[in-house]
Amino acid sequence: MSAAMESARSASAGPELDVVVVGAGFAGLYMLHRLRGLGFSAKVIESADDVGGTWYWNRYPGARCDIESIDYSYSFDPELQREWQWSERYATQPEILRYLGHVADKHDLRRDIAFSTRVEAARWDDDASLWRIRTSRGDEIRARFYVMATGCLSLPKTPDVPGYGRFAGESYYTGRWPHQGVDFSGKRVAVIGTGSSAVQSIPIIARQAAELTVFQRTPNFSRPAFNGPVTDAKKAAFDTDPAAYRAAARLSGAGVPLEPGLVRAFQVSEAERLAKYEEAYASGELLAFGAAFADILSNPEANATVCDFLRGKIRSIVRDPETAEALSPKDHFYGTKRPCIDTSYFETFNLPHVRLVDLRKDPIASITEQGIDTATRSFAFDVIVFATGFDAMTGAIVSVDIAGRNGLALADKWADGPKTYLGLTTTGFPNFFAITGPGSPSVLSNMAVSIEQHVEWVGRCLADMREQRLDVIEPTPTAETAWVQHVNDGAEISLFPRANSWYMGANVPGKPRVFLPYIGGVDRYRKTCDEVIRRDYLGFAFDGPAGARCNDGVVCRLQPDVAMLLDALAELGVPPMESLSVEDARRFVIASAALRPPGPEVGEIVDGELPGAAGGLAYRLYRPASPGPHGIVAYFHGGGWVVGSADSDDPLCRDLCVRSGAIVVSVDYRHAPEARFPAAVDDGFAAVRWIAANAAMLGGVPGKLAVCGWSAGANVAAVVCQLARDAGGPAIAGQVLLTPATDCDFTRASYAENGDGYVLTTALVRWFRDHYADPADRRNPKASPLRAHSLAGLPPALIVTCEFDPLRDEGAAYAAALAAAGVDARHLPCRGQIHTSIPMVDVILSGAPARQEMAAALRRFLAAP
C-alpha cells in the first residue's frame, strides 16, 4: 500500500482502542484494570521503564508517604487489602513501589503498558470522533477516549536558580533520583529547597555527608511523623471492618477517616487549645492540625495559634536561636503550603557539620562551577541536590501538545489558569479525562481515595455511554464556567490563596496564580460527581449513533459554605418552623443563637430601653472602639415579625458596627401574633424618632442617622423611611435593606424557585405573614412598602438580595422601583446565598463581601454632608 493510501486509510479508520491512558502510577494502573473489567480495550503509555509513577521517580533517601500507608493504598481489591501488610505507618518509597509492582503483577497489567514511551501529542479528530496520540516512538495510536493519568506532581520544575547548569560536580533532582542511589560519604553537599522532599532527605544525607549546607528560601511547617510499625489501634480499626473503614475515608473531608473539628479555635480556653495541639503533635498525623478546630484553614487568628505552637516546638528543638528563628515559618499560614511530617528534620540542624543558609537574607547570586555563590559568600560543593519541586497539577498535562476541537491547544486554553468541569473534563476537548485534574480535591486529599473515585467515575461514564450508544462526551461551557467559579468560591473563603505555594502555581515563574485544587472535600465532591450522573450527566453534551443530546446546567450553585450549612441542618433533622407553636419557634431561635460564633469584639455594648409606640422597647447599643462621636444606625432584626431579638442578630450588629465605624442601635420592636400589624412599624418609627432626638446622649452625631434591617426587620426599616419622609422627619441618611420583605405577592418566580429547601420556605413566609397581618392589611404600604403611592424622596438605599431566597424578587423589585422613582438605590444580588446566610458572621464566610458592602454603604450614607 502506498504511503498516501496508508495515510488516507488511517485518516478514515476508526479507533484501534477504546481508551489510551497516559501514566502508570496509582491512577493509570487502576484505570487500566477498571477499563479491562468493563470490557474496554485500553493501553497505558508510560515514559518510565516500569510502573509506579511518583514512587518510580522519587527514589531520594528518606522518600516515604505522609498519609499512613493503610489509608494511602487501593481499596478496590479486598484480597489485596488482606494479603498486603505494611511494615510501617509511613512506608518507604521502595515498599510503595513494591506494592504497585505487586498490583501490576496480580492483575497482569504490564502486558498492556508501553514503557519507556512518552506521549508527545494528542489531537482530537472531529471527523472520526477519536484521539490521535503520537508517542516518542514515532507511532500514532487512534483511541476513542484519552485519559491523562499523568500525576499532579510528576513534572519536576526546571530550577529557576541563576547559573543553573554551570555546576561541574554531581547534580541530583529529588524527583528524578538515580536508581543506583547516591553515596554522599565524605562529600560536601548542598541541598536547595526545604519542601517535603528536602525535609525527608536532609536528615539522611546529613548522616553520610562530610558537610551539608541547606539553602532555604521559605521555611516550612514540619513536625515529627513518629513513624514506626502500624499502630495496633490503626490496624484494629482497619481489620475489624475494612469495607466500613474505607467507606468512612470516602465520606471524609480529606480521604482519611479522621474526626473533623467542629468546634472553633476560640470557643475553647487557651489551655484546652494547647492540649488539643499537643495531642495533634503527638499523633504524627499530617492532617491532625487542620482537623483540630473547624476554622484552622479559614480564620487567620485561629491559624496563628497553630503557627505559634509549631514555632515554639522548633525553638525547643533547634539549639542555635538564630537558626531556629530562620527555620520558623512566618510568611504563610499553617497548611496553606503543604506542611511536612519528618524524622529528625529540625534536630539535624544541631549537628556540627550541617548549616543553614537563609536565602531571604543572603540570596543565591549564582551557581558556579565549584558550588554556589550567595550575595555575601562563596561555597564549594561536591554535590548539589535540587529539591526544588514540581510544575504541579497542570505541568504534566500541558507539557503534552494536546489539541482539541478546531485545533485548540489545551496549553492556550489554560494559559490564564486551568478551566475544567469537575476537574475531570474540559470544554473543547471531547472524550478527554484528567484523573485528579485541576479543580478536583486531588492534592488536598489522600490521593489514593481521590484517584479511585475519578477512575470509577470515568469507567461508569464510558460504560453508560456504550450502553446508550453514545460515543462523544464534552462538558458544556455553562457547566464549566460555573464549576471554575465554584472552585474559586471555595478557595476565596479559605486562607490558601494568601500563600505563595505550588497550590497557587506560585513556584513556577510565569505560571498564572490560580488556586488549582478543589477545597470542598472529597465527600462533598464525590456526592457532586454522583449527582451529575444521577441527573443524567448534568452539564454534559453527548453525540453518537443514538443522536446528539445536551443536558446543560450547573451542579453546584450554592456557595460552598452555604451548601455545607444546609447539609448540616438536614442532618440535624430540624422540624420546619411553621410546624411549631410560636413559643417553640421563639425558643428554637434563642437556642440556635446560643450555639453560634459571637461575632467580633466592639468597643462597648449597652442595653437600654426607649419609648415605643405603646410602651418601652428594649434596645442594645453597639459602640465602636474608636473615639466618638459616631454616626448612628437604627437596626431592626429579622424573624418574620414573630421571632427574633437583639440576641438573634447580635453577631451581625457587631460586624456592622466594626466594619462601618457607626453606633448600631438594635431595637426590639413588638412581635406578632400578640401585637399584629402595624405594631412593628409603629414601634420602629417611634424608635427612630427617639434615637434621632437623643443622638448626642447616645454618643452619636445629631443628624447622622441611617436605618438597616434584615428580612422583616428590613421591611420595618423600609417602612420607617417612608413614614419619616411623609412626617417630614427625622432625617434619615440612608437605608440598608438585607433580603427585605417588601410585598405580599406570592406569585413572583423566586417563591416558586426557592420555596423549599433553603431554610426560609414559602410555607414559612406564609406562616409569618399570617401571624403578622390580615390579608387586607398586607396590601397597605406600611406592610408592603413596594405598594407605596410614591417612592420619590426616600433616602439612598442599598438593597441586598440572595439568589436562593423566596423574597429575592420582591427585594429586587423594590430596588428597581426606588431607582425608577429617582432614589439613589443600589441593588446587590448575592450569588449562591440563601435568605438566612448573610447574617451568619464567622459561619458563612462567603457572606463577608456582602456584609462589607452593607457597612461601606452605611459609612457612605453617614459621611454624606
Q: Which does 502 bind (CB under 5 to 8 A by kind): ligand FAD, ligand NAP, none?
A: ligand NAP
* H and E: helices and strands count for the chain: 28, 29
Q: What is the 3-state secondary structure (H, E, C) of 177-200?
A: CCCCCCCCCCCEEEEECCCHHHHH
344-376 burial, b at 16+ Cβ within 10 Å, e below that, comes to bbbbbbeeeebebbbbeeeebeebbeebbbbee
Triad 686, 690, 691: Cα angle to 5°: 115
Triad 629, 635, 637: Cα angle to 5°: 150
Q: Pick the binder of ligand FAD from 149, 292, 541, 733 (CB under 6 A).
A: 149
Q: Which residue is nearest to ligand NAP (CB)?
A: 195
Helix (H, G, I), strand (E, B) or coil at 49: coil
Is residue 440 part of the contact set for ligand FAD (CB under 6 A)? no
Phi, psi of 636, deg, nearest 5: -120, 120
Which stretch, 386-394, 400-408, 750-758, 843-851, contacts ligand NAP (CB under 6 A)?
386-394
Range 7-36, binding ligand FAD (CB under 6 A)? 22-28
Range 168-227, binding ligand FAD (CB under 6 A)? 197
Range 314-353, binding ligand NAP (CB under 6 A)? 338
Tell me how far, at minimum, the Cβ of 90 lies from ligand NAP, in Å. 8
DSSP secondary structure letter of residue 390 = B
The radius of gyration of the chain's CA atoms, rounded to the nearest angstrom, is 31
Contacts of 309 (CB under 8 A, 6+ apart): 274, 277, 281
Q: Which does 298 bind (CB under 5 to 8 A by kind): ligand FAD, ligand NAP, none?
A: none
Q: Pick the binder of ligand FAD from 21, 119, 280, 858 (CB under 6 A).
A: 119
- Closest by CA to 417, choosing from 522, 519, 510, is 510
Cell of 450: 481521590
Can you tell me the distance from the alpha carbon of 741 to that of 350, in angstroms, rounded to the nearest whole number?
Answer: 67
Is residue 66 part of the contact set for ligand FAD (CB under 6 A)? yes
Range 191-210, binding ligand NAP (CB under 6 A)? 192-198, 200
Using CA atoms, how far residue 355 sits from 347, 467, 841, in Å, is 12, 63, 47
Tell me the HSE value of 577 on the side-chain side, using a 13 A CA sphere. 27
Helix (H, G, I), strand (E, B) or coil at 361: coil
CB 714 within 8 A of CB 740: yes
Which stretch, 146-154, 261-269, 507-515, 638-646, contacts ligand FAD (CB under 6 A)?
146-154
CB-wise, 65 or 736, nearer to ligand NAP?
65
Tell me how far, at minimum, the Cβ of 199 lies from ligand NAP, in Å. 7
The β-bridge relationship of strands 615-623 and 663-667 is antiparallel
- Spell out, one character per residue from 79 to 118, where the chain touches ligand FAD: x when CB under 6 A holds, - when not: ---------------------------------------x
Can you tell me the distance from the alpha carbon of 386 to that of 159, in angstroms, rounded to the nearest whole number?
Answer: 7
Which stretch, 148-156, 411-419, 651-659, 850-858, contacts ligand FAD (CB under 6 A)?
148-156
Tell me how far, at minimum, the Cβ of 410 lies from ligand FAD, in Å. 12
- Spell out, one character per residue from 457 to 486, where the chain touches ligand NAP: x when CB under 6 A holds, - when not: ------------------------------
Phi, psi of 593, deg, nearest 5: -60, -35
Binding residues for ligand NAP, rule CB under 6 A, total 26
- Grid-cell match 536558580, residue found: 161
Tell me how far, at minimum, the Cβ of 156 lies from ligand NAP, in Å. 8
Is residue 161 part of the contact set for ligand NAP (CB under 6 A)? yes
CB 687 within 8 A of CB 610: yes
Tell me how far, at minimum, the Cβ of 342 lies from ligand FAD, in Å. 13
Is residue 306 part of the contact set for ligand FAD (CB under 6 A)? no
Q: Pick the binder of ligand NAP from 218, 283, 328, 660 (CB under 6 A).
A: 218
CB-wise, 230 or 830, nearer to ligand NAP?
230
Is residue 681 part of the contact set for ligand FAD (CB under 6 A)? no
Rounded to 10°, the helix 447-467/242-250 angle is: 90
Q: Which does 53 bind (CB under 5 to 8 A by kind): ligand NAP, ligand FAD, none?
A: ligand FAD
Question: Residue 195 is inside which H or E element, if any?
Answer: none
Q: Which does 688 bind (CB under 5 to 8 A by kind): ligand FAD, ligand NAP, none?
A: none
Sign for the pseudo-dihedral over CA of 27, 196, 281, 88? positive
- Spell out, one character per residue from 360 to 399, where the chain touches ligand FAD: x when CB under 6 A holds, - when not: ------------------------------------x---
Sign for the pseudo-dihedral over CA of 24, 29, 33, 39? negative
Is residue 664 part of the contact set for ligand FAD (CB under 6 A)? no
Positions touching ligand NAP (CB under 6 A) are 65-66, 153, 159-161, 174, 192-198, 200, 217-218, 338, 359, 387-390, 443, 502, 507
Binding residues for ligand FAD (CB under 6 A): 22-28, 45-48, 53-54, 56, 58, 63, 65-67, 72, 118-119, 149-154, 197, 396, 400, 435-436, 446-447, 451
